[in-house]
């Protein structure tokens, strides 16, 4: 039998998302659950007594838009410890460093810092220059 497509498609980006609580629990940015794109398996990120409507800000993108969070606040949001968030941050910075080093291979350290400072001016929410200084 044929499966009928959903009547409403999900937003393609955060600007298309509805205001208020996100109804799309299957969205990759909704923190209540994760859906593995390869096999469709579902991982619930909260205990059974917490439903998707119990989360004040279920969209990770909207949470990030608010900016300026410390490790404890981020950990509380995702249900993780401050130490685990620190570990995830460290892993992400190492991956970013590898990407930057590959992308900027052949340039001097000074060239890299200058280029990233220019990018940081255009992307104020991310201090790429400080990431680059840690990387080189």
Residues in contact with 49: Cβ distance below 8 Å, sequence separation at least 6, in sequence order? none
pTM for the full model?
Answer: 0.55
Q: Encode pLDDT of 72-84 as tens digits.
A: 998 888 888 999 9
Write down the mean pLDDT value for the chain: 79
Domain range annotation of the chain = 9-66, 82-136
DSSP string across 28-78? TTBSSEEE-TTT--EEE-S-TT--GGG-S--BHHHHHHT----HHHHHHHH
Q: Encode pLDDT of 9-58 as tens digits.
A: 677 777 888 777 788 888 888 888 888 888 989 988 888 888 888 888 88
Q: Determine the Cα–Cα distance for residues 83 and 70; give it in Å rounded to an integer.
A: 12
């Amino acid at each position: 039998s044929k499966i009928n497509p959903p009547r409403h498609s999900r937003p393609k980006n955060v600007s298309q998302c509805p205001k208020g609580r996100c109804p799309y629990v299957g969205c990759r940015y909704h923190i209540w659950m994760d859906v593995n794109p390869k096999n469709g398996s579902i991982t619930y990120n909260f205990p059974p007594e917490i439903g998707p409507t119990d989360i004040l800000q279920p969209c990770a993108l909207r949470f990030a838009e608010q900016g300026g969070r410390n490790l404890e606040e981020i950990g509380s949001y995702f249900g993780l410890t401050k130490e685990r968030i620190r570990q995830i941050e460290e892993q992400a910075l190492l991956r970013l460093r590898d990407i930057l080093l590959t992308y900027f291979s052949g340039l001097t350290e000074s060239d890299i810092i200058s280029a990233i400072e220019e990018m940081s001016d255009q992307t104020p929410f991310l201090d790429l220059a400080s990431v680059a200084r840690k990387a080189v």
